Structure 1
């Protein structure tokens, strides 16, 4: 059985708790390690959308048997990139976490025909 839920989240870092709450609710029955990873990665994607994107932020959480997919959509046109791990700059390593902890992740256009991007990850 699968389910998918979408929320519009205010583009404000203070709303990160709402992102974590929605992801936690979708993870019922999953292992605590999976829930923790999903919450962390969703927060990273949301923070990137607020800091580097623009407009409304949409959180999409899809649950299928044994898998969770989280997408964060924003109206910004820039594409996120993995930061160079040798960089001495503070911050900018959120996608490295996503790359390390998710089973798969990627970037694409929004599926609703609106301008912007969708960044997603899946955890099995």
Structure 2
């Protein structure tokens, strides 16, 4: 595998990880909302749960933006199908050292979100 293949693989892994986290948070919110509605809880409790969900989603989106910016700063292409403005990243060959840095950043962000 060449460096550009490694870079593409890492950027796709990052995108899938963030997308999976967003999907999981959305599913959790929907389940909480159904449980709250079926238990006939107060409107205040449902509103509070919605606020918590919004905070979780906002945090995940901020983390995704940080990863995107880090990848673009390192000239790693960001290939998000849903965000074409980021797909124009330049592919610049560089050493495996940068791949290790990107992997370390992913681990730190992943640990920070849990």
* TM-score scaled by length of structure 2: 0.32
Q: Relative contact order (alpha carbons < 8 A, sep ≥ 6): 1 or 2 greater?
A: 2
The higher radius of gyration belongs to: 2
More strand by share: 1
